[in-house]
Copies of this chain bind each other. A is one copy, B any other.
Amino acid sequence: MKVTREKWSKNFSEWFDRVLAEGEFYDYGRYPVKGVGVWMPYGFRLRQNVVSLIRRMLDSTGHEEILLPLLIPQELLSRETQHIKGFESEVFWVTKGGSQELDVKVSLRPTSEVAITYMESLWLNSYKQLPKKYYQIVSVFRYETKATRPMIRLREITTFKEAHTVHETYEDAQKQVEEAISIYSKFFDELGIPYLLSERPEWDRFAGALHTYAFDTLMPDGKVIQIGTAHHLGQNFTKALDFKVQRRDGSLCHPHQTSYGISDRVVAVIISMNGDDHGPIISPKVAPIKVVVVPIPSKDDEEVTKRVFEYSKKVGDMLRESGIESVVDLDPEKTPGEKYYVWELKGVPLRAEVGPKELEKNSIFLKRRDTFQGKSVPLEDVIEAVTETLNSMFLDLRKNAESFLLNNVKYEKDPDKAKSLLSSGGIIEIPWCGDNTCGMKLEEITDARVLGYPLQDRKVNDPCAICGKPAKTVLRVAKTY
């Protein structure tokens, strides 16, 4: 089978919409509210696997899960000035209950920094309780006026995992940001998602943060997507809400905070980053179904066909008993080809083809979704072969995705050339003096978005692409989602 990737990479947007719908991941654009989607059963299971992974990682590092109210009153949301400025144009407001006007306008949470800080001020009063790490997994709402996109730019983001931490000192909070970065790095590694880590420039920080660090990756069309952020909030919110704790020396202080989040976009990337014209290839680590068993009827012998179907069920049972999520597609009305089409659209990593030949040889024919390479495997070796193939697929897919990202990060000292390079996607690193004015000018000239700069200063020989002064680092620019 020929692997074709034209539609996937060249018509990505169309491909993505089709895969979400026909693969039955996510129903978008048909529910009668703009910018919201419906997680269908198969997509929900994928989402749930991702949620379980991050939950395990947070629980095992001392994070405690909580659940805060959806509604945040206007007064509370407005306490931190920078924060409300950043969000006020995109907040949904509830103004009525039944037929009554509400006394106070309440917002649908756009994020929860003020709400959690309010509760922390009731729960925490001493350094002895610190550090404290909370998280919740909830829907957040943004009244997006830009064009919305399924899972990527939404008015209801349904898988917002937000962590919020409290610390005695600035340095402790900085260490926590480092822990957050390390957790997210492992999380994306486990998912096989390559990333570039940048500190966002001052003019593009989270509203209310001192520092914003972001994980970005590349979509098949060459556009960059932000998949995770971590913020050092300093004392901005604790001062705004006058939340104080007693320090070791008995004095009172406003503690330091961090927050970090991931969203539905992680699922969007898992579906998108490995694929071809047949559909997505879901990473074996989180695929809801690892193997689909497809019986191939005999052309002329009904008795053999019957036995092939029985044998397929047996293969399915073996897989399930070993804890390998699998499906046996027994639909008598569909041809094997029609079945392949459906399961490829769902991105199931492995297919076990079972026909009269396999029945006779007591084997299966195991085919990889990514390469369409197949091999015959004796029945007694099935579990081992499936496990091994899933593992090598995971590594191969991750390697491919990493190469794709690395090959598309380029250095260019001339901003005009950078602009032209960006028309075919990717990330361009441009020498920069560190000055905001030069940074914003670079954004303007390249007609792209500044992602920020590497966490460690980069030695650059060329001067700043704008002012000609010595460059301190590189500034990364890209077309973004």
Say how many copies of this protein the assembly contains: 2
Taking the complex as formed, is A337 at the interface, i.e. its CB lies under 8 A from any CB of chain B? no
- For chain A, the count of residues having a C-beta within 8 Å of the partner chain is 55
Q: Which of A60-68, A352-360, A367-375, A412-420 contacts B (4 or more CB under 8 A)?
A: A60-68
Let me know if A98 and B94 touch, CB within 8 A: no
Q: Is A322 an interface residue (CB 8 A)?
A: no
Given A93-B96, A97-B90, are A73 and B38 also a contact pair (CB < 8 Å)?
no
Given A66-B39, A158-B67, also A98-B106 (CB < 8 A): no
Residue with the greatest number of chain B CB neighbours at <10 A, chosen from A92, A100, A141, A143: A92
A37→B122 CA distance, assembly (Å):
14
CA–CA, A72 and B141, complex, Å? 14
Q: Is A76 an interface residue (CB 8 A)?
A: yes
A106: chain B residues within 8 A (beta carbon) = 33
Contact partners of A37 in chain B: CB under 8 A:
69
Beta-carbon nearest neighbor of A40 in chain B:
B66
Q: Nearest B residue to A87 by beta-carbon distance?
A: B98
A393 in contact (CB, < 8 A):
no
Counting CB contacts under 8 A, is A71 at the interface? yes
Which one, A24-32, A229-237, A277-285, A465-473, is touching chain B? Answer: A24-32
Task: Assess the A69–B134 pair: CB atoms within 8 A.
Answer: no
Is A89 within 8 A of B98, CB to CB? Answer: yes
Residues 321-374 (chain A) with a chain B CB within 8 angstroms: none
The residue from B27, B65, B141, B145 contacting A122, defined by CB atoms under 8 A apart: B27
Asked if A156 lies at the interface with its beta carbon under 8 angstroms from chain B, I say: yes
The digit string for A372-391, where 1 denotes a CB below 8 A from any CB of B, is 00000000000000000000
A88 on interface, CB distance cutoff 8 Å: yes
User: Which chain B residue shows the least CB distance to A90?
Assistant: B98
Instruction: Report yes or no: B99 in contact with A31, Cβ–Cβ below 8 A.
Output: no
Q: A100 CA to B91 CA in the complex, in Å?
A: 10
Report how far A427 CA is from B33 CA in the complex, Å.
45
**B134 near A75 (CB under 8 angstroms)?**
no
The residues of B that contact A119 with a CB separation of less than 8 Å are 27, 30-31, 38
Contact of A44 with B65 in the complex, beta carbons under 8 Å: yes
Q: A30-B122, A71-B156 are in contact. Are A98 and B108 (CB under 8 A)?
A: no
CB neighbours of A91 from chain B (8 A): 97-98
Docked CA distance A88–B97 (Å): 9
What 1/0 mask marks residues of chain A from 153 to 192 whose CB sits below 8 Å from any chain B CB?
A: 0001010000000000000000000000000000000000
* Residue A139 interfacial (CB < 8 Å): yes
State in angstroms the CA–CA spacing of A67 and B44 once bound together: 7
Contacts of A40 in B (CB 8 A): 66, 123
Question: Which single residue of chain B is at the shortest CB-CB distance from A47?
Answer: B67
How close is A126's CB to chain B, nearest CB, in angstroms? Answer: 12
Q: Provide the residues of chain B in CB contact with A93, threshold 8 Å.
A: 94-97
A38 and B68 within 8 A (CB): yes
B92 touches A67 (CB 8 A): no
When distances are taken between beta carbons in the complex, the residues of chain B under 8 Å from A32 are 73, 75-76, 118
Q: Please report the C-alpha to C-alpha distance between residue A329 and residue B139 in the assembled complex, in whole angstroms.
A: 35
- CB-defined contacts of A47 to chain B, threshold 8 Å: 67
Residues in B neighbouring A27, C-beta threshold 8 A: 119, 122-123
In the complex where A27-B119, A67-B158 touch, is A96 in contact with B92 (Cβ < 8 A)?
yes
Max chain B C-beta neighbours (<10 A), residue from A48, A64, A67, A145: A67
A78-94 contacts to B, CB under 8 A, are 88-94
Is B73 touching A33 in the complex (CB atoms < 8 A)?
yes
9 more contacts with CB within 8 A, not counting A36-B70, A47-B67, A94-B108, are A30-B122, A31-B115, A37-B69, A38-B66, A40-B66, A70-B70, A90-B98, A91-B97, A97-B143
Q: List 15 A-B contacts (CB under 8 A).
A: A31-B119, A32-B118, A33-B72, A36-B69, A36-B70, A38-B68, A39-B67, A44-B65, A45-B65, A67-B158, A69-B156, A90-B97, A93-B96, A93-B97, A94-B108
